[in-house]
Amino acid sequence: MNIFRLAGDMTHLMSVLVLLLKIHTIKSCAGISLKTQELYALVFATRYLDIFTDFISVYNTIMKLIFLGSSFSIVWYMRRHKLVRRSYDKEQDTFRHFFLVLPCLLLALVMNEKFTFKEVMWAFSLYLEAVAILPQLVLLQRTKNIDNLTGQYVFLLGAYRAFYIFNWIYRYFTEPHYVHWITWISGLVQTLLYADFFYYYFNSWKNNVKLHLPA
């Protein structure tokens, strides 16, 4: 494992911890899109079908369990926990996220590395993860006040993808025959979706003002 992948994994883990911190300590999910969290739960459920059949390393298995458990627990809290779900802005979180699922599935059936159930689901999870942040970004644009924890959560998610791009570049030049076009293209698309958010995030940080995205 190289430093870029480790940094990507750690920023991804930190994003989850920031969101769980907000939910558990403040008992609030204000500014958080349930639609995005449901998509992430589906992403991890379809990507880690091999968790109990293909052992890679203890680290790999632990990370898979963390992301699976955390994604479903976040969805549960936002849907079922009385105090948390009261803060959920259902009227603003109206992105029709299920319309993202079918195109990603059809694309996975056509473009995959091997036409087997696991490989198609793996490709589907990559395509879906690339666009899963869209409901969250739309919600942030509709929300006038973005609190610090929500802003940090989205920033860390974007940083995780950016570090993974450096990881792929590093592996391309250091590992023979390392080519994964599906992973690269979907990861690049996902990172580009964060570009606008990054601009306003760094601008608010530089000017020491509250983060605000234009409608």
pLDDT band at 83 (very low <50, low <70, confident <90, very high): confident
pLDDT band at 8 (very low <50, low <70, confident <90, very high): very high
Q: Note whether 20 and 58 are within 8 A (CB).
A: no
Tokens of 77: 């809290």
Q: Is 18 exposed, middle or buried (0-12, 13-18, 19+ CB in 10 A)?
A: buried
Q: What is the pLDDT of residue 209?
A: 63
Q: What is the pLDDT of residue 24?
A: 86
How far apart CA 68 and CA 48 sit, in angstroms, is 8
Dihedral (C-alpha) 56, 130, 147, 69: value to the nearest 10 degrees?
-30
pLDDT band at 105 (very low <50, low <70, confident <90, very high): very high
Q: Provide the whole-model pTM.
A: 0.91
Q: What is the pLDDT of residue 145?
A: 63
How far apart CA 135 and CA 34 sit, in angstroms, is 8
- Residue 210 predicted with pLDDT over 70: no
- Residue 200 predicted with pLDDT over 80: no
- Residue 140 predicted with pLDDT over 80: yes
How far apart CA 74 and CA 66 sit, in angstroms, is 12
Distance of CA 82 to the CA centre of its chain: 25
Q: What is the pLDDT of residue 82?
A: 86
Percentage of the chain exceeding pLDDT 90: 63
- Residue 143 predicted with pLDDT over 90: no
pLDDT band at 174 (very low <50, low <70, confident <90, very high): very high
How far apart CA 154 and CA 144 sit, in angstroms, is 16
Mean pLDDT for the stretch of residues 11-36: 93
Q: What is the pLDDT of residue 100?
A: 95
pLDDT band at 7 (very low <50, low <70, confident <90, very high): very high
Averaged confidence pLDDT in the chain = 90
Mean pLDDT for the stretch of residues 92-119: 94
Mean pLDDT for the stretch of residues 116-120: 95
Kindly report the three-state secondary structure assignment for every residue of the chain.
Answer: CCHHHHHHHHHHHHHHHHHHHHHHHHCCCCCCCHHHHHHHHHHHHHHCCCCCCCCCCHHHHHHHHHHHHHHHHHHHHHHHCHHHHHCCCCCCCCCCCHHHHHHHHHHHHHCCCCCCHHHHHHHHHHHHHHHCCHHHHHHHHHCCCCCHHHHHHHHHHHHHHHHHHHHHHHHHHHCCCCCCHHHHHHHHHHHHHCHHHHHHHHHHHHHCCCCCCCC
